[in-house]
Structure 1
């Protein structure tokens, strides 16, 4: 069977599960957060590997029956609030190392492997590897020195943006506010808060549109994203989408980039300028694509199901 690790309402995982079920492939969906509150485990080391069972709800999963794991967006382990704060920290760590470590040790196909995902989530590593792979990468500065940030902005005529290293949501007035790519101004760099952590500044690409490139094994699906806001994450419902071709040099660069990180899946974001040059911005080793398939009918879920089902035969 195929084990899908994701949160309950993940639309991306749901598309793949539906496709696998249409093919008659046994599939079980589980969120890592369910252990130990809703999932129990008993496993023994037998010969060269682990055998045993997972019990989730009314279903039992034989560990030796798992042939492939689709690693999407599982939550964090949830342990009883009857424990003290210190006990909860310990219990959550033990759950991660014990339950997670057991799953990671199974001799199965992972799409993608959590360890490879973790390595590839470091944006400085992504940018350096992308440039080595021959992809165009905007000039970038990482610093906590306001003077260095100002000098970089002046060097590029203040045509510079600030980005966080990972998506951030801040709660204000009872509502969640997401961080987006932010144009850099002199006033922004007057704030000494730049000293408080690492910041990423990058030359802004004068773009006509964006592209999300979804790589599944050796297949690539490129979707143009045209946004009236400039940043497509601000206006999903107002964006327009279109399937497009991947330039040969970009495809070659992406193959080299994925090989660097040992990934068999990733979603990469590009900005396309007026000369049709693709500029690499970001690699998401577990990126979402469900809304792109729904908008364009690009057969991404079938490609993911193909790759997973191949390892159940």
Structure 2
């Protein structure tokens, strides 16, 4: 297979196992060199952008060859890490300047982006996801996102069946699993005033589906969530059976429209198949985890994403 010259840049944490595995896949299966960048290394290590009449030259955190990058995996970017000074206002100014420089330098690269940073940022907003999914034909559980304790209580009391609650944001704070609302939680609803929360009708599962979307290629994994402890939130329950699956054509079409509308070429989607047979959209993570899905099922997800980064084709021969 012939590919054009240039490397692939992976922007992520320095200890990210997904990034390391992608480096190996690109090297071994596609013969493509990679660069790794943890934005927390800047401004401790310097960067520069030089422009003249004929060319540009970029360096950032000691990385050479940025101008020859063919594709960027915007995997798990961090803000720059600016040491604390004496005045908070000065720290905020320096942080803003460093972030503006690093992001501008990278985002100006004429490369294939997975995902485009602007689309990635917008798609991380749960309200944007849910509203877009509804408009593109996905089934959505009845949902309320609010910081109003009274409205939350009314939703919980008037929803047919049980209700779950979960985070609205996607920061790297401590992982918070989706939980059923219990009677004791009603006495703590006042806390949502300072932390808007998602409340949804609980869907009793036939199974859960985790879909790794790679530029139109669907890698679907069925999770036997009824068999394990994770019937409410199956994301961390690896004790149950995982198996390759397929989506109904109508569901696949809706997800394709959703991802296209969000402008994402990559994402990990969580669906729940209810006892009523409906496929309910729960969320999409533009930087979602998927290595364990490949380990569990043998699906060639890394090869698919590496193909997209290497030459713009996510299809894997033989699959």
- What TM-score, normalized to structure 2? 0.87
> Where does residue 241 of structure 1 map in the other structure?
242
State the SS of the aligned residue for 2:169: coil
Question: Per-residue displacement from partner, 1:43-83 (whole Å, max 9, x unpaired)?
Answer: 21234863233452xxx522321111111012221123466
Q: Which string of whole-angstrom CA distances, capped at 9 and with x for unpartnered residues, describes residues 113-135 of structure 1?
A: 11111000111111111011111
Larger displacement relative to structure 2 (133-142 or 183-192): 183-192
| Contact 1:162/1:201, CA 8 A, preserved across alignment | yes
Match of 1:309 in 2: 310
| Alignment-derived partner of residue 6 in structure 1 | 12
Answer whether contact 2:59 2:66 (CA < 8 A) is retained.
yes
- Is contact 1:54–1:62 with CA below 8 Å preserved after alignment? no
- Cα 1:147–1:9 change in 2 (3 A) is same
Say yes or no: does 1:104 pair with 2:104. Answer: no
Alpha carbons of 1:198 and 1:54: their partners in 2 closer, same or farther (altered >3 Å)?
closer
In structure 2, distance between residues paired with 1:62 and 1:259: 31
Per the alignment, residue 185 of structure 2 pairs with: 188
Structure 1 residue matching 2:235: 3-state secondary structure: helix
Corresponding residue to 1:15 among 17, 21, 24: 21
1:77 partner SS: coil
- Counterpart of 2:67 (choices 61, 64, 68) is 64
Query: Contact (CA 8 Å) 1:138, 1:279: kept in 2 or not?
Result: yes
Q: Is 1:118 paired with 2:121?
A: yes
* Greater strand content: 1
- Of 15-24 and 227-236, more deviation after overlay is shown by 227-236
CA distance in 1, matches of 2:304, 2:245: 17
Instruction: Determine if contact 1:149/1:189 at 8 Å carries over to the other structure.
Output: no
Superposed counterparts of 1:190-205, under 5 Å: 190-191=187-188, 192-205=190-203
Q: Is the contact between residue 267 and residue 287 of structure 1 (CA under 8 Å) also seen in structure 2?
A: yes
Q: How many Å apart are 1:200 and its aligned residue? A: 1.5
After TM superposition, the structure 1 stretch with the greater mean CA deviation from structure 2, 276-285 or 180-189, is 180-189
Contact kept in structure 2, 1:270 and 1:280, CA below 8 Å: yes
Match of 1:257 in 2: 258
Q: Show the counterpart of 1:269.
A: 270
Query: Distance between the aligned counterparts of 1:130 and 1:103, measured in 2?
Result: 30
- With over 3 angstroms needed to count, the CA separation of the structure-2 counterparts of 1:223 and 1:134, relative to structure 1, is same
| Counterpart among 30, 33, 54 of residue 37 in structure 2 | 30
SS in structure 2 of the partner of residue 301 of structure 1: helix
| Cross-structure match for 2:234 | 232
Structure 1: gaps spanning 5 or more residues? 171-175
SS of match in other structure, 1:110 = strand
1:276–1:54 Cα change, 3 Å? same
Q: Please, what TM-score do these two structures have when normalized by structure 1?
A: 0.89
Check whether the contact 2:41–2:61 (CA below 8 A) recurs between aligned residues.
no
**Partner Cα separation in structure 2 for residue 311 and residue 275 of structure 1:** 38
User: Which secondary structure does the structure 1 equivalent of 2:94 belong to?
Assistant: helix
Unpaired runs of at least 5, structure 2? 1-6, 314-319
Per-residue deviation at 1:242? 0.9
Paired with 2:54 and 2:218, the residues of 1 have a C-alpha distance of 36
Aligned partners of 2:262, 2:163: CA distance in 1, in Å?
28
Alignment coverage as a number of residue pairs: 301
Structure 1 residue 16: deviation in Å? 1.5
Superposed CA deviations along residues 21-49 of structure 1, whole A, max 9, x for unmatched, are: 11221211111111111x32222123486
